[in-house]
Amino acid sequence: MAAKPTKQSPIPSVWARPRREADQPTLSRATIVREAVVMLDAEGVEALSMRKLATRLNAGAASLYRHVATKDELMELAVDEVAAETHVPPADSPEWRAAAAEAAGSFRATALRHPWLSSVLGQAGLAYLGPNLMSFSERLAALFTSAGFAKPSGPIDTLLSYVIGMSTTEAAWLITVARSGETEADFIARLMPAAQQAAAVHEHLAEGYADAVSATVDPVALRDEKFAYGLDVVLDGLALRLEA
């Protein structure tokens, strides 16, 4: 609605009156959250303001508050919205390790697809009660109990902590890269001198950086590998617990 009415209210005619526009359905919690996610993906967390979001929806800023109590609440809804993208294999799959690995990878993938997610997860208002995150946990619980763990909360928390921690770090890195406007490889190349200088005092770190400089490989593959390594470590540790 509201196809920008002119400043002064004009002739009070039915025809001049703004008509509900059919293309943009109506303002609703769902449309608001969906558009918020689009904006967050496109411009990051600090570019999302209630006013800009409202403008995108052909609405006034105050209108949003009819469907959403507060911006923080909007954020929680946005988190749960993208949580729907995660995928956990069914519990009856024969190999629990592969299933857990796939669930973990799926979480990481959505966290990297929506890098703002990680910044928001650390914020206060717990979105952990949202239906989609809930069902993610539930499916993990099903997976681990069917795998033989007596109490699945231990494995769940361990796996999720690792995945969240790694994804947060990666997402923060990706945001920084994106902000530079360069490709990841170029950004790394430009950052190396400073990093090396900062690491020069620390013998063990300097060694690692020296390696990194020679390896001009695909940075994406490098991150994938790093994630896989830690994931394997965690799953190994869990497997050990399964035999007792």
Element spanning 125, H or E: none
Q: Do 29 and 18 form a contact (C-beta atoms < 8 A)?
A: no
Does position 238 bind a copy of itself by CB under 8 A? Answer: yes
How far apart, in Å, are the Cα atoms of 241 and each of 14, 136, 152, 185, 229?
Answer: 73, 23, 12, 40, 19
Judged by CB under 7 A, the residue of 10, 38, 52, 218 near DNA is 52
Backbone angles phi, psi at 148, to 5 degrees: 120, 0
Which of 181, 239, 188 is CA-nearest to residue 217? 188
How far apart, in Å, are the Cα atoms of 230 and each of 172, 176, 179?
Answer: 18, 23, 27
From the list DNA, a copy of itself, none, partner contacted by residue 204 (C-beta under 5 to 8 A by kind): a copy of itself
Judged by CB under 7 A, the residue of 16, 30, 61, 217 near DNA is 61
Judged by CB under 8 A, the residue of 38, 129, 192, 220 near a copy of itself is 129
Does position 113 bind a copy of itself by CB under 8 A? Answer: no
Q: Do 199 and 206 form a contact (C-beta atoms < 8 A)?
A: yes
Q: What does the binding site for DNA look like in residue numbers (CB under 7 A)?
A: 1-2, 5, 9, 17-18, 20, 26-27, 48-52, 54, 58-63, 65-67, 70-72
Q: What does the binding site for a copy of itself look like in residue numbers (CB under 8 A)?
A: 44, 118-126, 129, 131, 134-135, 137-138, 141-142, 145, 151-155, 157-158, 160-166, 168-169, 171-173, 175-176, 179, 194-195, 198-199, 202-205, 208, 211, 226, 229-230, 232-238, 240-241
